[in-house]
Structures are given as structure tokens and as C-alpha cells.
Chain A
Amino acid sequence: MNRESLLSGGKEVIVDANIFIAIGDPSNTKFTQFRSVVQTAGVVLKLPRRVIGEIGGQDTHRVQAALYEGWAEIIDTPNPTDGDAVAASDIARRTIANTTGQPEHEVEKTDTILAGLAIQYVRDRSTSGVIVLTDDKPAKEGIQNAVTAQGYTGTIEVYGLADMIGDEPGGSMRLI
């Protein structure tokens, strides 16, 4: 499938911090591939402040490169007090606990809020749809389950980095 088309169509794209960490520095091939996909689709990725968490080291530069270049922005998000959003976060939490085999109270709250945020975003901003990008598989499953259970399959889509730029060929990695 044409990858740019995944992001186009006037949808809002909410992105998890791990996407920026996974693409590496601007000198990295994955960074340029991903940036090109985003810029060709003409979207500005929305990075919820609470999803980044505390930043401060080498990891910060990576997130900031995209912010400086203007194809990503940090958004402030309201607390998910909406009933549907809370329910979605609960489903995400249960799914993550299930797939990881960890007790529910061990699931990080931040891993569950993207599910609620996506639903809130679709409602409050009445956009044509929301795309959530995360590169954390258990967390992604949590969001996907919540979206399906809450009946938002048509309006919220969840993708990982590989959906955007393809799988990393093993041969391109520095092994030692």
C-alpha cells in the first residue's frame, strides 16, 4: 500500500514518543524515510505532552529534531474524564496486562492514555478520523482492542513505524 496515503485524508495523527526514538538522529536513514512520509502526506504529528514524559538527555534531541523542523508539535491534552475515554483506557490496561502477563496495577498509566486520548480527540475536534502511531507492540494492542471494543474501528486507526517505512532490513544494522 502507498504509505503516504495512510497518513493523508485530513486525519489527525497522534504519535507516541517511541516513534521519534526509533527513527534515530536526522543522519539516520529511518529518520529521513519517516520524515519524507510525514511531509509528503502534509500532516503535523501531534505528540501529547503527557506521553513524552520527563525529557532531558540525548533522547530529547531526537524528539526536538522533528519539532524544530515543524513536522511534529507537542499538544496539551485534557485529562481523560470523558466516560468513553476512561473506559477505553481501562480496556487498554486489561489488554496490556493480558498480553504481557503482568498484573493490571503494573501497567503504566501512560501506556493506557493514548487509547482514551484518541477517542476524546475524535469527539472533541470532530475530525474525519485519528491515526495513532506507536512502536510498542503490547501498548499498540491495548489501543487497538480499546478502539474496537468502543466501536471506533472506522475512525481511529493504529499503526507502528514498520507500517510507515517498512520493516528494517537486518542487513542495514550495525551489528558490532
Chain B
Amino acid sequence: MNFGLVGMDDQPDTPPRPDGGTSALHTPPRDILNEETLKPELLAENAPGLETLVKLLNQPALARVYVYVCYWGPVSPPEVMDDLDLSKSTAYDYVDRLVDLGLVERDDSIRPQQLTAEPVILVEPYTPIIITPTVLHAFALQEVDEDVEYFLDRYGIGKLVAALRGAGLHHAGNMTQRMVASEIDVRDTEAMMIIYALVPALAVGREQDPYFEYLFLDVHDQMDLPDLDVQETSPAQPDDVE
């Protein structure tokens, strides 16, 4: 059980990839692979899950709508439009695509229709790779936060996950910002920037993500973050920008 230390462990022989992931040369053990887990039937069952996650990770705007529905649902399409500042056609298009992918449930029996989404999780323990709603939220923030966009452009999602874990450790008092910078190999000021930029993903994830502890098993209840009354608070930003 080492999935918490994404990209932060010493990699003895293989240098880290520029995107912060660990190299595939780090041969994973084969003990989880057996006749049972390799049954075509089982593989076929898991494949759509992987496919939809890959789709989300290729479309941050779609990931953003998914995370919104997952955290704040049940919500109606007009709420998606208003809270995420999307045009009507874009909002309906994203919702349709998420429904088609099986990520969002649409209840047409009431008016306005209600959308809900189950949280998704993918853990690949040996590499390690972990995708949770908090990770998807961090990734989706690039749609509204240029610091996250900059970081992803420069370093990719592997390092964003590492930065997310580092930010959690920092806000729990277990690392200074410069320690995070050094561990994930970015400049000091870049680490500071992403640590602040990821606060919304941590603050909301702590309240709403049932899998929050997967990434922050040791520090999930120790983070010093702004308190959010997320149940009642609209996620959109009040008039902060003039």
C-alpha cells in the first residue's frame, strides 16, 4: 500500500519522467495477475471504466462538469450553466456526453431534470497512479485557474498529482513549500503557486470526495484549509473580479 506517495518516493534506478510519473521500466510485480483477474469477462467489465477516465483526462472542461455534478448533485442543467458559467448549448452538450459515457445519471421524471454522478476511483498500486474526484477536480481547475493551466502545460498531469499530494502535506504542516518544490523538482515559486492554486480541490475534496483518504491517508484530517459550507455555498465565485 504505497499509493499515497505518488512521484515522491526515491526511484532507485530509474530517473523520473519529465511529467513526474514513474518510469515503466520500474517493472511491476505480477502477483495480482492470475487466471481469475485475467478472465476476458472481467477485463471487458473494467475496460469501459478506464476508457471513460481517459476521456475525462483528455477533456478538462468535461471533467469540470463531471466533478461539479458529482460534488454538488443532484443539480439541474440550468444550475450547471449558471454555476460553471457555460452557455446553454455547451452545458447541455457536456451533460449529454457525460450521460452517454455513463458518468452522469439523468432523472427525467421530475422537472427540471436532476443530474447526479457517482464518484470514480482508479488506483494502480504498483506504478503508483491514483485518480479520484479530487484529482479530477485539480485537473479541471485549469479551465478557470491560469496557474493550474500553466503548471499542467509545463509539467503534465503526473506532476500535478504529485503537487496535489505535496500541497496536502504542506497544508497539514508536514512539508514546507520548498520541500515540495524539491521533491517534485519544480522551481520554488512554481511550487508555491500550485500549492495555493490547489486549495479549492483540497478544501472541497475534504468535504465531498469519499475517496479523499486514498490520496491523503495520513493527513486527511490535519489540513489547515478555509472552511466551506459547501452544501449551501454556490461554487461560483462571487464578485471578486472587478
- Chain A residues contacting B189 (CB-CB under 8 Å) are 17-18, 21, 52-53, 55, 57, 59-60, 62-63
Q: Is B144 an interface residue (CB 8 A)?
A: yes
Q: Select A53's contact among B188, B238, B242, beta carbons within 8 Å.
A: B188
Q: Is A172 an interface residue (CB 8 A)?
A: yes
Q: Is the CB of B187 within 8 A of A53?
A: yes
Given the known inter-chain contacts A99-B173, A106-B179, A110-B178, please indicate yes or no for A174 contacting B147, CB distance below 8 A.
Answer: no
Q: Is A29 an interface residue (CB 8 A)?
A: yes
Q: Is B199 an interface residue (CB 8 A)?
A: yes
Q: A110 to B229, alpha carbons, bound, how many Å?
A: 37
Q: Is B62 an interface residue (CB 8 A)?
A: no
- Report how many residues on chain B are interfacial, defined by Cβ distance under 8 Å: 50
B194-213 CB contacts (< 8 Å) to partner A: 196, 199-200, 203-204
Q: Select A172's contact among B137, B235, B238, beta carbons within 8 Å.
A: B238
Interface of B is mostly: helix
Q: Is the CB of B178 within 8 A of A172?
A: no
B85 to chain A, nearest CB (A): 10
Closest to B84 in A: A176
Q: Is B241 an interface residue (CB 8 A)?
A: yes
Produce 1/0 per residue, A113-134, CB < 8 A to B: 0000000000000000000000
Q: A24 to B187, alpha carbons, bound, how many Å?
A: 17
Q: Is the CB of A102 within 8 A of B179?
A: yes
Given A59-B189, A100-B179, A167-B226, output 18 extra A-B contacts at Cβ < 8 Å: A21-B196, A27-B241, A100-B175, A100-B176, A102-B175, A110-B178, A110-B188, A111-B176, A136-B177, A136-B178, A138-B173, A170-B233, A171-B233, A173-B199, A173-B203, A175-B203, A175-B204, A176-B83
Produce 1/0 per residue, A83-107, CB < 8 A to B: 0000000000000100111100011
- Chain A residues contacting B137 (CB-CB under 8 Å) are 176
Q: Select B176's contact among A58, A139, A168, beta carbons within 8 Å.
A: A139
Q: A167 to B179, alpha carbons, bound, how many Å?
A: 24
- Chain A residues contacting B190 (CB-CB under 8 Å) are 57, 59
Closest to A174 in B: B237
Given the known inter-chain contacts A17-B192, A21-B192, A56-B187, please indicate yes or no for A108 contacting B179, CB distance below 8 A.
Answer: yes
